A and B are shown apart, each in its own frame.
Chain A
Amino acid sequence: MSRVSLNLCLLAVLGGAGLLAIGNVAMPEGSAYHVPTYAVSLAGKYLCYAMLAVAVDLVWGFAGILSLGHAAFFALGGYAMGMYLMRQIGTRGVYGNAILPDFMVFLNYKELPWYWHGFDNPAFAIVMVLLVPGVLALVFGWLAFRSRVSGVYLSIITQALTYALLLAFFRNDMGLGGNNGLTDFKDMFGFALQADATRSGLLVATAIFLAVQLLVARYVVTSRFGKVLIAVRDTESRTRFLGYRPEAYKLFVFVLSAVMAGIGGALYVPQIGIINPGEFSPANSIESVIWVAVGGRGTLVGAVIGAVLVNFGKTIFTGALPELWLFALGAMFILVTLLLPGGILGLLSRQGRAPKITPAAEPAE
């Protein structure tokens, strides 16, 4: 992963988001430079997915942990933000109840469940956006890495984790809106969510968070910690005989990654306007791995490129041939795996990330 390509990526993300926001807010409707609000929100959505992709790349690309449940952390961050946005609706809901969200009134709740308390406070909600995915990753990772669960087994239990959450969040008695999820948001930190300026502001905020995330991720993977992490990825047992505890390294990066995914989810929800249990669906997590594979695993920049391009493709494709999207995604994954093991970035930089065939240097015995 080169410094230059990451800096270019930061420039593209921040510059692109800035230009779209200006085009939306400062250019009059009808001007050739005007950017419609739906395009702003679409770009915001892509950048949130890019945050999820960077999180996946951090664990998969640099620690060899193929998590097939990372969308769960994204969704949990999203739900934490969604709960805050629900509480902001207040008396503007259909039932006009100042305390209880509409779905609770509808389900005959008499009072707010205990875990909803505090979510009217933005600072509390922000802490929860970080804490909920982080603590889940901490507990899950501690159990898994300490027992030396890795490889396919780890992938399978991460799928099971997100699937279990999917089923739980579907239930009405979870108190989180059941299969309808949380929606009908009105405002966030005092800004009306329907306003163009808020939408543009959210896009710019997402770009800034993504940029910070990329810088943090770069720091981590290029530090001595990151070198150990890569050593663990390739030759875990060797690091142990050198005195390192691979489980501690994996746990740290897994928690960091989960928090990053959670922030992505928290920014996703106000821009999309809804969070429902579908976000936990195992296919979402698998898609996020495909973005990283397409862009180039272990490069960080590739994760951003993959997430944006594949989702742009999805937007176009599902408009024209919705029923074929999953086949297209699967075909893309197979083609990339077979023909482009370094992903798009590997192709661009031509540094040949594909396993090199080394000539037989070993002398005959």
Chain B
Amino acid sequence: MKQHQDTLLYLDGVNVSFDGFRALNALSLVLEKGEMRAVIGPNGAGKTTMMDVITGKTRPDSGRVVFGNSTDLTKLDEPDIAALGIGRKFQKPTVFEPHSVWDNLLLALAGDRRPRFTLWARPQSEERDRIEEILLTARLAEHRHRRAGDLSHGQKQWLEIGMLLAQEPQLLLVDEPVAGMTDSETEQTAELLREINRTRSVVVVEHDMAFVRALGVKVTVLHEGSVLSEGSIDHVSDDPRVIEVYLGR
């Protein structure tokens, strides 16, 4: 095994098929602690499915997903995996629409998740401070009292990233965060992710090449459920196989 001390996430020969269709095909991937990784690939390459496997939504047919030193994620369900410190942002922004921005962050805040706790929980001053901090980071300070459902598309994306931060995960999985964003929102999002990456590991799935270039991190190209190429953005965009997949269709 090539696994060592600094590995945070290790996918080892993961296979997923849906009715005979191979969505992930012997996918292997290693993520270091503190790393930010961009995952690109055409539609249907298996990027979202990979996130589903890591977060426990989809159980692979075979293969291992090891988190930290020895935890096999394929044996756990979504709440357990979330509790281990893996947070996820969905492709389509999903926030709790009837709740205020503040309450969305409150519910995401790391802490006891059991009914017997939340039934009696009172707002703590540390919680307030933490939420204020995240509101600033996620550029939502002046929207704190607004109903999340009334936010703009871009603001919802940021709120969801803010909720991820509130969970204080070790690893953030972010699926297509800039889809549907304006250029300036896209730029701010790249900045936000770099800020987050100072203390946490991040995997970003994205289509937008300009955005991936702006992130300036190692890139993994997925194609038909396995890794086609890996390296710097310049390396992969010069790779003839990548050019074929992106241009040869």
Chain A contact residues, CB within 8 Å of chain B: 220, 223-225, 227-228, 230-231, 234-235, 237-245, 248-249, 252, 358, 361-363, 365
Contacts and interface: CB of A to CB of B under 8 A. Distances in A.
Contacts of B167: 242-243
Contacts of B55: 241
Interface in B77-124: 77-79, 82-83, 87-88, 90, 94-99, 103, 106-108, 113-115, 118-121
A225 B90 CA distance: 24
Interface residues of B, number: 37
A358 B103 contact: no
B38 interface: no
Given A240-B79, A241-B82, A252-B115, A362 B163 contact: no
Nearest to B166: A242
A230 B96 contact: yes
B150 interface: yes
Contacts of A231: 96, 99, 107
A248 B113 CA distance: 10
A363 B181 contact: yes
A-B CB proximity, top 10 nearest: A243-B82, A240-B78, A225-B118, A225-B119, A224-B118, A224-B121, A231-B96, A362-B153, A238-B94, A361-B152
B180 interface: yes
Given A234-B96, A242-B108, A225 B115 contact: yes
B79 A245 contact: yes
A269 to B, nearest CB: 31
B182 interface: yes
B30 to A, nearest CB: 23
A225 B149 CA distance: 20
Contacts, number: 87
B117 to A, nearest CB: 8
Interface string B158-189: 00000100010000000000011110000000
13 contacts: A223-B120, A223-B121, A225-B121, A228-B118, A237-B57, A239-B107, A241-B57, A242-B107, A243-B167, A248-B114, A362-B152, A362-B153, A365-B179
Contacts of B79: 240, 243-245
Contacts of A235: 94-97
SS class, residues of chain A in contact with chain B: helix
SS class, residues of chain B in contact with chain A: loop
A227 B163 contact: no
A241 B172 CA distance: 12
Given A230-B98, A235-B97, 9 more contacts: A227-B106, A228-B118, A234-B98, A238-B90, A238-B94, A239-B107, A241-B88, A242-B113, A243-B167
Nearest to B85: A243
A242 B82 contact: yes
A223 B153 contact: no
A245 B83 CA distance: 11
Contacts of B150: 358
Contacts of B182: 363
Contacts of B82: 240-243
Contact of A223 (B57, B87, B118): B118
A251 to B, nearest CB: 8
Contacts of B77: 240
Contacts of B153: 361-363
Given A224-B106, A227-B106, A234 B115 contact: no
Contacts of A230: 96, 98-99
A224 B116 CA distance: 11
A227 to B, nearest CB: 6
B61 to A, nearest CB: 21
Nearest to A361: B152
A243 B98 CA distance: 20
Contacts of B99: 227, 230-231
